[in-house]
Structure 1
Amino acid sequence: MQARLRRLEEGREPWALRLQALFACIDLLILAFFILGPYLRDTPSYLLIDYAIAAWIGIELSGRAVTSTSLGAFFKRIMTWIDLIILVTLLFPDALFNFAFLRAMRVWAVGNSPLVREGLRWAGWLVYRDVVRACINVVVFLFMVTGFVYTSFFYGRDAGEGFVDALYFTVATVTTTGFGDIVLPGTLGKLTSVVTMIIGISLFVRLAQAIFRPYKVAFSCPTCGLRRHDADAVHCKACGELLNIPNEE
């Protein structure tokens, strides 16, 4: 069972990719629930969906623990701690709503799974892999900051108005537009704005690099360790070592 679960998580067989695609859709639904949370929080179905997602994440964590070589390796994974925090916020939504923004990290995990690579390969768009990952990082960051700003500064407002104001502030800050019509109060608000601008600009620069720089493949040179090479490279540009880069098409 351990081997089968590991193949499900990391495999590239058609059946494994189909299940990974299903799990990715569930992660997107979890993100949709996070976005629609402000509109659903006063409805009877909110807690039902909340606890159903908690049960699903608990099952995923159990499966991931089974596939790990040891408990130490299991707890060294970033997504383990993220999912544990998300699980606790789902189990205690009223007390820990401030950490709900971490649920957007589930989409970041999708971007680093074999599903994206194989999907792009199937569509013939493998050269855009870095662009897709950079876009996912930007989207995840926007939703994480929006969630943090909403739960920390606008949670008491009307659901629609508060979340839209948080999203508007995040986009205006990340793009350094700075209209100034919405300003976060206090020291925490200023620090949030500073961190958002610094990280946001860095992610946009990374996205621009991924779009405009020449496509390179990830292949470690056996001599000097250089990891990125031209797709048709025969020799390493750093040390001249003969390369044998596998065809990604």
Structure 2
Amino acid sequence: MIRRITSVVGELLVTAGVLTLLFVVWQLYWTDLTSGRVQAATVTSLEQQWDATPAPSASASAPAAAPTVDVDQTPPTGDAFAIVYVPRFGSDYAVPVVEGTGTAELQEGIGHYADAALPGQVGNFAIAGHRVTYGKPFNLIADLQDGDAVVVATATQWFTYRVQSHEIVSPKQVSVIAPVPDQPGATPTQAWLTMTACHPMHSARQRYVVHALLESVQDRSAGPPASLAAVGQG
């Protein structure tokens, strides 16, 4: 009887181990594959839509601190409305920005925090992305260097931000996405971009945060900005 019980327990442990392994494979690899395909299709769809129905040209001469912005109100939750390009992450890096930072939205791309500024607006265009699973758009966030470009495309414009600083904070430190990063209550006079992701890798114990400042605005009709030139790829 004892031998039979031991055998059954052993089989259950083996089964549990196999199921755990399958879950890890699904979580780390399958979600990357499926979400990556969905995100790539969204990018293609946005680009085709923008090229097929170009919006009226925005002012290319608007100052960086207060540019003309074609997205003048927050899109519905779940809608993709912009594309992020990061040359440091590779010449083929292009991920859609989706309104919202819930579980469903972060599976579809990079999430835009509710009530945060929109691309190019004075304030803080705050976004979040996974470092692992679901396409892992911010997997290499810690590789960004001061001065690196983060380019955001919308239907009519390209916005080039330059990385200014990095920090690692508690998930409760929401001041990092304040209109003036880390200065809650301050009145913004510049256009910021803040990227957030879980830290360390495979953990949600902290947040890795990158702040970037708007450098320039260019009409989409003028073609991609020079800031999209690939750098430091390995």
TM-score (norm 1): 0.25
Instruction: Report the structure, 1 or 2, having the larger helix content.
Output: 1
Flag the structure with more relative contact order, 1 or 2, with Cα contacts below 8 A and sequence separation at least 6: 2
Instruction: Report the structure, 1 or 2, having the larger strand content.
Output: 2
TM-score (norm 2): 0.26
